[in-house]
Amino acid sequence: QTVVIATGNLGKAQEFTSMFHKAGYKVKTMKDFPELPDVAETGSTFEENARLKAETIANILQCPVLADDSGLQVEALHGMPGIYSARFAGEQKNDAANNAKLLYELTEVPDEQRRAQFHCTLVFAAPKKESLVVEASWPGRIARIPQGDNGFGYDPLFIPQGMDISAAQLSESEKNQVSHRALALNKLQNQWQAWLEG
Ligand code: ITT
């Protein structure tokens, strides 16, 4: 069985792929459908954007499609960058520039006020079905120096609660046991087969 993931983000694709492979599913991503248009994320919430991606692609491909809309919410920045996480530093998606901007914005913010969380909303859409929606978050804080080479996005600056290393210092399989994406996917895993076959 194959699941199509409506993402062009290689980091996400890799995390989903290893999680679905473990459950015995094949995975295709937007890279396998180069002819498909980029879906504009014009929503004002994670859920709206994930719905846009999943439902648009499910309508075109006429098959079940999972989309992830996720981001980093920083308390001292009143929840920013949030849904703007991928393009925090400019129109072009650029992880290094986003991390630099985040550090700059938090220059004056003391350690005890650097709380943040990663948020993930997953929408599973299929033709003629009401979409399935699940969400989860992963609490932590923002470091002063980026550390680690694993993962993607803001991982080098995110110290998960209860740890003293960054998310980019976790191995892929370690991150996949505890991340916002892993927690959301766990919630989905209990429901999606019944939903799809029902
Ligand atoms: P798709 O829309 O094609 O899936 P995207 O990267 O544009 O890819 P989003 O709009 O959901 O995806 O933006 C998510 C951004 O939030 C992502 O680019 C990272 O900057 C950040 N992010 C989300 N999950 C993350 C994680 O597990 N680790 C680090 N950063 C993450």
**Could you give the CA distance from residue 165 to residue 169 in angstroms, rounded to a whole number?**
6
Residues in the chain with pLDDT values less than 50: none
CATH of residue 31 = 3.90.950.10
Tokens, residue 63: 């098959």
Domain of residue 173: give its range.
2-197
**Could you give the CA distance from residue 171 to residue 1 in angstroms, rounded to a whole number?**
27
Q: DSSP label at 133?
A: E
Number of domains forming the structure of the chain: 1
Beta bridge partners of 136: 120
Cβ of 73 closer than 6 Å to ligand 1, yes or no, is: no
Q: Is 69 a catalytic residue?
A: yes
Q: DSSP label at 186?
A: H
Cβ of 118 closer than 6 Å to ligand 1, yes or no, is: yes
ipTM beyond 0.95? Answer: yes
Tokens, residue 5: 């993931």
Beta bridge partners of 29: 5
**Could you give the CA distance from residue 10 to residue 89 in angstroms, rounded to a whole number?**
19
Cβ of 151 closer than 6 Å to ligand 1, yes or no, is: yes
Q: For the chain, how far is it from start to end, CA to CA, in angstroms?
A: 16
**Could you give the CA distance from residue 181 to residue 179 in angstroms, rounded to a whole number?**
5
pLDDT of residue 72: 98
Cα 52 to middle of ligand 1, angstroms: 15
Q: Are 181 and 46 in contact (CB under 8 A)?
A: no
pLDDT of residue 189: 84
**Could you give the CA distance from residue 182 to residue 187 in angstroms, rounded to a whole number?**
9
Strands 65-74 and 2-5 come out as parallel
Q: What is the CA radius of gyration of the chain?
A: 17
Q: Of 68, 69, 95, 164, which one is the catalytic site residue? A: 69
Cβ of 81 closer than 6 Å to ligand 1, yes or no, is: no
Q: How many CB atoms lie within 10 A of CB 44?
A: 9
**Could you give the CA distance from residue 82 to residue 42 in angstroms, rounded to a whole number?**
14
Residue located via tokens 């995110």: 158
Host H or E run for residue 67: strand 65-74
